[in-house]
Amino acid sequence: MGFPIIHTNIWDGVIAIPAIVLFIQLIKLMTPIKHRYLPTLATIAGLLLSIFVSHRHSLSAGLFMGFLYGNGAVGLYASLKTAWLAFRKDNNRADEYHPY
């Protein structure tokens, strides 16, 4: 048994990952789910989206890409949150001297 051939394109990353991030944000607003479960929920959403929508032709490709979608969404959210918090922290220091 060899490795599966996975046909993917740029739209998988441009549409699927932000769609999962948006879905998780809506879940956070509408339900009292604990934040520690959100990465697992993102992985499950990525698996469902990949297996049943994006890669219906191959279960192995759907599983691989589903984990990629879910973990990509978690990484995108974490990096955006970190950048936003760093930006806000830098802008709150108006009393510091900046020589530039």
Q: How does DSSP assign 40-56, residue by residue? A: HHHHHHHHHHIIIII-T
Spatial distance between the Cα atoms of 53 and 41, rounded to a whole number of angstroms:
17
Answer whether residue 99 shows pLDDT above 60. Answer: no
Q: What is the mean pLDDT of residues 33-37?
A: 92
Helix/strand/coil for 17: helix
User: Which pTM value belongs to this model?
Assistant: 0.78
